[in-house]
């Protein structure tokens, strides 16, 4: 029981950054902007979060630092794609390349230093509930925030006027402009919100998940978050499902690598042989599981082109120059 609980806990920890980054990107894409720089913003959030936490000694200030760094970094992207109408795909790649380089430079002094860990906040009574208590109510602040964020984004998008305006801009920027909606301003805000979320997701890596600074520690999670948005067909609650699925895959392969086969002798023999078979899979193949899973998921979800077409924000990735 304890073992399962520990494993589930790590799944939550692995899923949280994916979910936050994907939710942020979802809002950005709902406004019609495709920001492929999630990986870059995430790693900037990680290094800034780590650095701020080191300097101040507070993991919470670190998280705020990550948010600020992600949002500021995304401004670069916003300026290029929204003000100068540069190609969004290329600029997103540029953001990732620059983020990986810049974070390496900034973080050079922090390599190998022990980080400031964000400790769990145990909620009295609720945390003592059987089964779910430990999992849901004895977590770090960023986890709680991620759940609140999910609910808030869903409410914002579908219940508020501002959310409606944001969706309208993503659907048809020309129509929105002719109604007097400030398309560029809304997109700036949406991009910065996505940046802030990616930054926080990165900070989570450096303050909760690892907690250390390792160069390139985002390890493709930004890209997986991007895939999650497609997987979720731009609907917030499906991001939850996707993120935890990926969290589970990531953790499963880690645990399989760590398991000592001799400790499993209590299993029925056929299960033991199965375990032996799985253990025989080289660790590198297990490590590549999350990436392969991403590809498989993308293929499966994209197969239904009709559905994808209906769900995709119609002006996603298209530049807009208002006439004045």
Partner 1 sequence: MNKNDAIVEDNVGSQSGDTMLEVRSITKKFGDLVANDAVSLKVTKGEIHALLGENGAGKSTLVKMLYGSLQPDGGEIVWHGNRVEILTPSQARNTGIGMVFQHFSLFDSLSVAENIALSLGKENDLRDIGQKAREVSEEYGLPLQPDTIIGDMSVGERQRVEIVRCLLQNPELIILDEPTSVLTPQEADNLFETLARLKSEGRSILYISHRLDEVRQMCDHATILRHGKVVGECTPANETAASLANPMVGEEVGDVSRAAVTTSAGDVLLELNNVNQPAPTPFAIALRDVNLKVRAGEVVGIAGVAGNGQSELFDAVSGETLSLQNSDIRMRGNDCGTLGITGRRKLGAAFVAEERLGHSAVPDLSLSENLVLARHGSDAQTFLGMGSLGVIRKNVTRQVTKRIVEEMDVRKSGEDPDASSLSGGNLQKFIMGRELDRQPSILVINQPTWGVDAGAAQKIRQAVIDLARSGSAVVVISQDLDEIMEISDRIAVMSDGSLSEPENAETITREDIGLKMGGLGHG
Partner 2 sequence: MRIELERRAAHSKLFSVLSPFIALGLTLIAGVIMFTALGLNPINALYSFFIEPLTEIWSVHELIIKATPLVLIAVGLSVCFSSNNWNIGAEGQLVMGAVAGSILPIMYPELTGWWVLILILLMGMAGGAAWAAIPAFFKNRFGANEILTSLMLVYVAQLFLDWLVRGRWRNPEGYNFPESRTFTDWQTLPEIFPSSGPAHYGAVLALIVVFIAWFMMGKTLKGFQVKVIGQAPRAGRFAGFSAKKMTMVAFLISGALAGLAGISEITGVIKQLQPTISPGYGFAAIIVAFLGRLNPLGVLAAGLILALSYLGGEAAQISLGISDKVGRVFQGVLLFFVLASDTLIHYKIKFIRSTKRSAQT
Residues of this chain that bind partner 2 (CB under 8 A) = 36, 76, 80, 83-87, 89-91, 93-94, 97-102, 104-105, 108, 219-220, 223, 226-227, 230, 282, 284-285, 287-288, 291-292, 294-295, 298-299, 302-303, 305, 308, 321, 324
Looking at residues 15 to 44 of the shown chain, list those that interact with partner 1 (rule: CB under 8 A): none
309 part of the interface to partner 1, by CB under 8 A: yes
* Element at 185 (helix H, strand E): helix 183-204
Site string for partner 1, 168-197 (x = CB under 8 A): x--xx-xxxxxxxx----------------
Rounded CA separation 95/84 (Å) = 15
Q: Given the structure tokens 């769900």, which residue do they identify?
A: 311
Q: Given the structure tokens 């953790």, which residue do they identify?
A: 251
* Element at 51 (helix H, strand E): helix 38-56
- Note whether 171 and 30 are within 8 A (CB): no
Stretch that binds partner 1, among 85-93, 108-116, 162-170, 276-284 (CB under 8 A): 162-170
324 part of the interface to partner 1, by CB under 8 A: yes
Looking at residues 289 to 308 of the shown chain, list those that interact with partner 1 (rule: CB under 8 A): 306
Phi-psi region of 278 (alpha: psi -120 to 50; beta: other; left: phi over 0): alpha
Three-class SS of 214-228: CCCCCCCHHHHHHHH
- Note whether 260 and 272 are within 8 A (CB): no
Could you tell me the smallest distance in angstroms from the CB atom of residue 227 to partner 2? Answer: 5
Q: Is 122 helix (H, G, I), strand (E, B) or coil?
A: strand
DSSP state, 108? Answer: G
Could you tell me the smallest distance in angstroms from the CB atom of residue 179 to partner 1? Answer: 5
Q: Which does 285 bind (CB under 5 to 8 A by kind): partner 2, partner 1, none?
A: partner 2
Q: Which residues pair with 139 in a beta bridge?
A: 121
How far is the CA of 203 from the CAs of 19, 50, 52, 64, 111, in angstroms? 13, 7, 10, 8, 16
165 part of the interface to partner 1, by CB under 8 A: yes
164 part of the interface to partner 1, by CB under 8 A: yes
Q: Which does 113 bind (CB under 5 to 8 A by kind): partner 2, partner 1, none?
A: none
Could you tell me the smallest distance in angstroms from the CB atom of residue 205 to partner 2? Answer: 17
Q: Which does 176 bind (CB under 5 to 8 A by kind): partner 1, partner 2, none?
A: partner 1
In 3D space, the residue among 118, 111, 28, 18 whose CA is nearest the CA of residue 77 turns out to be 28
Q: Which does 45 bind (CB under 5 to 8 A by kind): partner 2, partner 1, none?
A: none
* Pick 111 or 126: Cβ nearer partner 2: 111
Q: Which does 316 bind (CB under 5 to 8 A by kind): partner 1, partner 2, none?
A: none
Could you tell me the smallest distance in angstroms from the CB atom of residue 153 to partner 1? Answer: 17
């Amino acid at each position: 029981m304890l073992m399962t609980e520990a494993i589930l806990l790590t799944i939550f920890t692995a899923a949280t950054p994916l979910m936050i980054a994907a939710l942020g990107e979802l809002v950005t894409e709902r406004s019609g902007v495709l920001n492929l720089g999630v990986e870059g913003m995430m790693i900037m959030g990680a290094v800034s979060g780590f650095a701020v936490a080191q300097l101040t000694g507070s993991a919470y200030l670190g998280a705020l630092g990550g948010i600020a760094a992600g949002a500021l970094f995304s401004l670069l992207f916003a300026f290029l794609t929204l003000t100068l109408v540069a190609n969004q795909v290329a600029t997103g790649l540029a953001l990732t390349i620059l983020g990986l380089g810049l974070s390496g430079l900034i973080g050079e002094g922090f390599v190998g230093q022990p980080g400031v860990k964000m400790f769990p906040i145990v909620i009295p009574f609720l945390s003592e509930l059987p089964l779910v208590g430990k999992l849901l109510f004895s977590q770090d602040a960023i986890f709680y925030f991620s759940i609140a964020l999910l609910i808030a984004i869903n409410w914002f998008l579908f219940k508020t006027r501002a959310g409606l305006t944001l969706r309208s801009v993503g659907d048809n920027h020309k129509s929105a402009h002719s109604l007097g909606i400030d398309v560029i301003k809304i997109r700036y805000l949406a991009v910065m919100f996505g940046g802030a979320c990616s930054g926080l997701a990165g900070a989570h890596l450096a303050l909760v998940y690892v907690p250390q600074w390792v160069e390139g520690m985002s390890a493709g999670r930004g890209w997986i978050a991007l895939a999650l948005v497609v997987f979720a067909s731009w609907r917030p609650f499906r991001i939850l499902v996707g993120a935890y699925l990926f969290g589970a895959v990531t953790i499963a392969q880690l645990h399989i690598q760590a398991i000592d086969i001799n400790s499993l002798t209590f299993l029925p023999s056929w299960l033991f042989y199965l375990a032996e078979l799985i253990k025989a899979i080289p660790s590198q193949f297990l490590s590549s599981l999350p990436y392969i899973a991403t590809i498989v998921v993308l293929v499966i979800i994209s197969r239904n082109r009709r559905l994808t077409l209906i769900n995709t924000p119609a002006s996603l990735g298209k530049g807009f120059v208002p006439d004045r």
